[in-house]
Structure 1
Amino acid sequence: MVAQQVLSRTLHLKNTATVVVAIGAGAWYTNQDTLERTSSSSSSLFSSWSRTLSGAPGTGLQPSLARQRWEETYARASEWVARVPGNRLAIILAENWVEMSEAKRTSAGLIASFVGIWLAWRLPAKLGIGQWLAHQPLSGKAITLLTSTFSHRTLTHLGFNSIALFSFSGATFAALSHADSDLLPRSTSRYEFLTLFATAGVVSALASHLWFSRVIAGGLLKRGLTTREVRSAVLPSLGASGAVYALVSLTALSFPSTSVSLIFLPFFPIPIGLATSALVAVDVIGLVRGWRMFDHAAHLAGAAMGAGWYFAGHAVFEQVRKWMWDGQKQRIEEERGIVKL
C-alpha cells in the first residue's frame, strides 16, 4: 500500500510537470511564430503591439499573420508538386491540403499519428512495443499517460475518435482564436490547440489510472483476489477519447447555440449542450454502475478539462505568453536589427 501511494505521488508530480511543460512550450511557440512574422512584415506594428496588452484591438488571431501562414503552406505544397511533375494524385492531394483550414490540417496530422501507432500495434508482440502504447495502471510507467492518448488498437476506436477530432477541431480553433481573455496578438492557435489536446489526454489518462488503481483494484484486493489476479482484471487504457471530450465540452460552452448530428442519425440535429450533457450523464452512470465497455473516468476528466480550459485555462495560457513575450520580442529584435523608436 505504501509503495502504491509513493507511485501515485510520483505519477502526480510527473503529470503536473508534463502539463506545465506543455503549456510553456505552447505559449513559447505561439509567441515565436507571431513575433517572427510580425517583425518581418512591419516593424512599426511590431513595436505598437507592446502598447496593447489589456484586451485592446490587436489581440487574438490576426488575419494578416494567419494569411502569411497560409501562403507558406501554399508555397510548400507547390514545391512538393513541382518535385513530382505530371502526377495528378499529387496535385489533388496538394489542392485539398491547401484548401483545408489550419484546424483541419492540424487534426489531420494528429490522425496520421493515430494511424501510425495503430499500425505499430500490428508489429510482432515479441518486440514489446505494446507496453509503451497503452497505460497499465499497475505498471508504474508515467510516459504511457501521454503515449496512450495517441494509441488505438482497433479500427473502430480509431475511426470514431478521428471523426470526432476532425469534426470539432474547427470550432475549437475558433474558440481559442478569439476569446475575451486574450492579452496578445497571435498568428495561429495551432500550438494552444495541441497544448489542450496533450494536457487533456494526460489528465484524462491520470484520472483513469487513479480510478482503476485505487477504486477498482482496491475493491478487488478487499475481496481477496491476489495481486496477479488483480493485474489481470485491471486492463490497460488507451485512446484519444478523453482529449476529444475536452474539445467537445469547450465547443459546447463556447458556442451553446450550435447543433450537432450523430453519425447514425445525421438528419436530426441536437443542441450541443443537450448532447454533451447526455454524454456526461451516461459516463457518470457508467462510472457509478461499474460499466467496463468504455473508460468513463477518462471521458469525464476530459470533459472537465475542456470546461476548465474555457473558464480558466485559456486565460492562464495567455498570461504565460505575456510573461514570455518581452524576452522573446527583445531577442528577435536583436536578431533582426530592429531599432526601437
Structure 2
Amino acid sequence: MASSIFQSSLNVTRRNNANRCFLQHYRNFQRAEKGSEVSRKTAKEKRIIRANLESKSPEKIDVVYARNGRPSFRTLIRPFGFACLLNRWYHSLSGTQKMVLGIIATNVAVFACWRVPALQMFMIRWFSASPAAQATCLPMVLSTFSQFSFWHLAINMYVLWSFTPTIGAVLGREQFLAFYLTGGVWASFASYAVKVATSSVHPSIGASGAIMAVLGAVCTHVPDATLSIILLPFITFSAGAALKGLVAFESLGVILRWKFFDHAAHLGGLLFGCYYVTDGHKRTWDHRGRFMERWHKFRGKPVDS
C-alpha cells in the first residue's frame, strides 16, 4: 500500500515537472516570436548606414543601422554582398589604377560609339588621325581611345592594366595621365611624319602608340624584369630584350612599309617612353612647381599615387 502511494505521488511529480517544462518552453517560444517580430519591425524602421562583409565570409554581412529612416532596396537583396566585394576591391586599388580604370571605361565607350551608324561620320572626323583630314590636332589625342575590333580593345587594355602598377608607382597618377596622353600624341605625330613622307592618307586609330610608350618606359626602368606572352606564358624573356626586339620589329615595319600595323606610331610611342623615363621627366615634370602648387590649392593634394 505504501509503495503504491509512493509510486502514484512520484508519477504526479513527474507530470507536474513535465507540465512546468512545457509551459517554460512555450513561454520562451512566445518571447522569441515576439522578439523576432519586434526586431523585424525595428529593422524595417531603421536605415542601413554601413554594411561590411564579415571576415572569411562572402555572404555574412555586418550591418549598422541608423536610428530612423527606411532601408535601401539594395540592402534587401542578396547581390548586395557582391557589391560589397566590388567596393572593397575598388578601394584596394592605387590612385593610378583607379585612373586607368577611367581610361579603360573611356575606350569601351568610344568603341561602342563606333558601332552606332549615326555617329560614323563624327567618329571618323574626330577619333581617327590622318594628316590629310580637316581636323588634324585634336584627333592626335582622341584617336588613342579608338579600337577597330573587340580583340584589339581587349589586348590593348590588358597590356595597359598589366604594366600600370610598375610605372604608376614611379610616376604617380597625375604624371602618368600626362605621360600617357603625351605618348599618344607623339605616336600620332610619328605616324603623320611617315605618312607625309610616303604620301599616305589612310587614317589610324588605336591606343597602341600610347601603350607602347608605357611599355617602353617600363622596359627602360626595369630592364631585368621577366615578361611573357599572353597566350604563351611558358615563354619568358627579360624586359630589356623585349624592348630591343620591339624597336627592331617596328623599325623594320617602317622601312619595309608593312600595312598591317601602324609601325611608325608604335615606334614613336616606344622611343618617347624610353626618353621620358630616362631624361624627359627631369626637363618637364620636375619644373612644373608653380602650376602644380596652384592646382593643389584648388583641388587639394592627392592622398595616394
Normalised to the residue count of structure 1, the TM-score between the two structures is: 0.61
Give, as a single letter, the amino acid of the residue that structure 2 aligns with 1:170. Answer: P
In structure 2, the partner of 1:303 is: 270
SS state of the match for residue 135, structure 1? coil
Question: Which residue, 187, 210, 218 being the options, matches 1:204?
Answer: 187
Deviations 1:155-184 (A, max 9, x none): 1111111011001111111222xxxxxxxx
Residues 156 and 207 in structure 2, CA contact (< 8 A), matched pair in contact too:
yes
Q: Are 1:114 and 2:114 matched, yes or no?
A: no
Give, as a single letter, the amino acid of the residue that structure 2 aligns with 1:216. Answer: T
Question: Which residue, 180, 185, 204 being the options, matches 1:237?
Answer: 204
Deviations 1:219-253 (A, max 9, x none): xxxxxxxxxxx6xxx32101111111111111111
In structure 2, the partner of 1:195 is: 178
Q: Give the Cα–Cα distance (whole angstroms) in 1 for the partners of residues 122 and 234 of structure 2.
A: 42
In structure 2, the partner of 1:279 is: 246
Shift of 1:137: 2.3
| Cα distance change on mapping 1:323 and 1:316 into 2, 3 Å | farther
Normalised to the residue count of structure 2, the TM-score between the two structures is: 0.68
| Cα distance change on mapping 1:114 and 1:91 into 2, 3 Å | same
In structure 1, the partner of 2:129 is: 135
SS state of the match for residue 311, structure 1? helix
Shift of 1:125: 4.4
Q: Give the Cα–Cα distance (whole angstroms) in 2 for the partners of residues 107 and 326 of structure 1.
A: 24
Residues 120 and 129 in structure 1, CA contact (< 8 A), matched pair in contact too:
no
Q: Give the Cα–Cα distance (whole angstroms) in 2 for the partners of residues 260 and 298 of structure 1.
A: 23
Q: Are 1:215 and 2:209 matched, yes or no?
A: no
Q: Are 1:151 and 2:146 matched, yes or no?
A: yes
Shift of 1:83: 8.3
1:1-341, aligned counterparts within 5 Å? 84-85=74-75, 86=77, 87-125=80-118, 128-131=121-124, 132-141=126-135, 142-176=137-171, 189-212=172-195, 214-217=196-199, 234-324=201-291
Q: Give the Cα–Cα distance (whole angstroms) in 2 for the partners of residues 252 and 265 of structure 1.
A: 19
Q: Say which structure, 1 or 2, has more relative contact order (CA 8 Å, 6+ apart).
A: 1
Give, as a single letter, the amino acid of the residue that structure 2 aligns with 1:215. Answer: A
| Cα distance change on mapping 1:133 and 1:328 into 2, 3 Å | closer
For structure 1, list consecutive stretches of 5 or more residues without a partner in the other structure: 1-81, 177-188, 218-229, 336-341
Deviations 1:91-144 (A, max 9, x none): 222122122233322222111110000000010146522222111221131211
Residues 259 and 271 in structure 1, CA contact (< 8 A), matched pair in contact too:
yes
In structure 2, the partner of 1:78 is: none
Shift of 1:276: 1.4
Aligned residues: 223
Runs of 4 or more, structure 1, over 6 Å off, are none
Q: Give the Cα–Cα distance (whole angstroms) in 1 for the partners of residues 283 and 202 of structure 2.
A: 35
| Cα distance change on mapping 1:302 and 1:83 into 2, 3 Å | farther
Shift of 1:279: 1.1
